[in-house]
A and B are shown apart, each in its own frame.
Chain A
């Protein structure tokens, strides 16, 4: 009965911009209203943890731990928790550590993966097929399997509690090499052949022909790698001890045990840690979503 009106994939389904408006107006059916309600309830639910953390962070510690719980505290909202956390804690230092290490991971990963992917896609060298197989095969290695030997290796490299110790083991991204190779495969060879005939070397072709054409995929890979590195917990957790060397995610874990039951401060710290990526996301929503879906899909 409802079949005729419920149209999850009618012609309006595609992203709004390329859909003529006359079609959109046609379908204001009961089922579309129902679907809107469902999606609204769902997304409201998804926002609750953010909202609750924000409300708590702006309460005083006494209000945050008071029963029955309130949404608007009697004594009003306050910045106390944020002020305390920023004064006493290491959050600014950890944010810097995270920013520095994630940026370094992203840059190094981009450079080494792009070069390797270009060779795998375009250059006929002996052993290319073997290399390709080895790289694809390495996708199967779960990072946790490596933590024990890698930790031992970092000890002998004297890299415990150093930025390099955090950064270097994170720069190998076989999946990203694969994504980039797939992209390079699609660039018409004629563009390069013309340059080759003109006497340009491989490096110049790579730099002047291939890279400029690859901006979208480079951005996508960079976004993907950066988010992964920014949020990585296990490896920085293992390779750092010194409180001044921790990254944000790892630092937060120590706050939890150090502050104990200071709920407002816990939430203020969590929000401060979440803020940078959320702000970046709000500005570059379109690019990030595109980046995640292309790399996420192609990376498999």
Chain B
């Protein structure tokens, strides 16, 4: 089909525009398509595909940072990891964090968006204060909170003392530390979910509410029977994004408690980091990475199936 359009092959012939037929364009496009993709693909291959593949290979070796013993060990790393109580402990901590952080990160964001969307005065101020923390680096957040959590000099215990609550050792008590991290995380990132919710709410046509008002539906009623159903897809997306983000938790935990006390807040990413860079066992660390990856895939696929069911 392309024989008739050979003339358009020569790009330096703009006079032959009339012969710039569909088929000719297709043919040029074939080259142009890859041309446009080339840069991205190069980076994609070198910095994503290759490490992804090479990591699998590494996980089958005894490779270490010191360079010694990079021999092939088969599945030994995986077998060891599956029986590694520290790994399972870190995995458990990560799942625990994911559950107890996702719930408030979604519900508080929803409440914030609903309030701001009411059209109260000084909207910009509320929006600013809820969202501003999201712009901070994790280290800044950790510095702020480690200081506020300070058992003797911290603002939080001081305020609690004023209402007669005994000082709490926020970051050194294994029963409390994870919750302290959740609070800091909530403060830090809820603004992102809040913005997504707010955008979704602002997209709901006003006519829905006007109709409901004519029918005599009050505020709460409107919220539950119009707003919530309308933003359902957004909720689903926020939950999915949040679960995946929480599973990857590392920064603030590493910075605030370094995984302590007694490993009670150590996340799986920190365990990967530590086995690789403190324990120098790159091969083993790679194996743990892929076990973590497998869990992420399982979570993603089940979320995908859930989404399908809901929208079907």
Q: Which residues of A are interface residues toward B (Cβ below 8 A)?
A: 2-16, 19, 24, 31-32, 35-36, 38-40, 42-44, 46-50, 52-53, 56, 64-65, 67-69, 108, 111-113, 115-116, 118-120, 123-128, 131, 135, 138, 140-153, 168-169, 171-172, 177, 196-199, 201-203, 206, 227, 230-231, 233-234, 238, 248-250, 252-253, 256, 263, 266-267, 269-270, 273-274, 277-278, 281, 285, 289, 292-294, 296-297, 300
Quick check: is B107 within 8 A (CB to CB) of the other chain?
A: no
> Is B160 on the interface with A (CB-CB < 8 A)?
no
Q: How many residues of B contact A (CB 8 A)?
A: 116
> What separation, in Å, do the CA atoms of A46 and B144 have in the docked complex?
12
A149 contacts which of B51, B118, B218, B248 (Cβ < 8 Å)?
A: B51
Expressed in whole angstroms, the minimum distance between the Cβ of A90 and any Cβ of chain B is 14
Leading 9 A-B pairs by shortest Cβ distance: A125-B33, A3-B218, A119-B36, A6-B219, A116-B40, A293-B199, A149-B55, A249-B137, A149-B51
Given A49-B145, A67-B152, A124-B33, A140-B135 contact (CB < 8 Å): no
Contacts A231-B136, A256-B255 given; does A13 touch B195 at CB 8 Å: no
Binds A, one of B79-87, B97-105, B121-129, B173-181: B121-129
A2 to B223, CA, bound (A): 14
Partner of A172, one of B48, B119, B285: B48
B193 to chain A: closest residue by CB? A296
For B220, the chain A residues whose CB sits under 8 A away are 2-3, 6, 8
Query: Which residues on A sit within 8 Å (CB–CB) of B143?
Result: 53, 252, 256, 266-267, 269-270
CB of B178 to closest CB in A, whole Å: 19
From A16, A48, A197, A274, B136 is in contact (CB under 8 Å) with A274
* Given known A9-B117, A46-B187, contact A15–B43 (CB-CB < 8 A): no
Instruction: Name the B residues within 8 Å of A35 (CB-CB).
Output: 115, 118, 120
A8 touches B43 (CB 8 A): no
Contact string against A for B residues 145-171, beta-carbon threshold 8 Å, 1 for contact and 0 otherwise: 111100011010010000000000000
By beta carbon, the residue of chain B nearest A33 is: B120
Q: Is the CB of A10 within 8 A of B219?
A: yes
7 A-B residue pairings within 8 Å (CB atoms): A35-B120, A49-B145, A115-B39, A146-B51, A149-B58, A150-B51, A293-B196
Please name all residues of chain B whose beta carbon is closer than 8 Å to the beta carbon of A151 when the two chains form the complex: 276-277, 282
Give the complex CA separation of A73 and B221 in angstroms: 50
CB <8 Å contact, A266 and B218: no
- Chain A proximity mask over B44-83: 1 for CB below 8 Å, otherwise 0: 1011101110110010000100000000000000000000
On whether the beta carbons of A171 and B47 are closer than 8 Å, the reply is yes
Closest A residue to B150 using CB positions: A263
Contact, CB under 8 Å: A149 / B52: yes
Return chain B residues, CB-CB under 8 Å to A46.
129-130, 132-133, 187
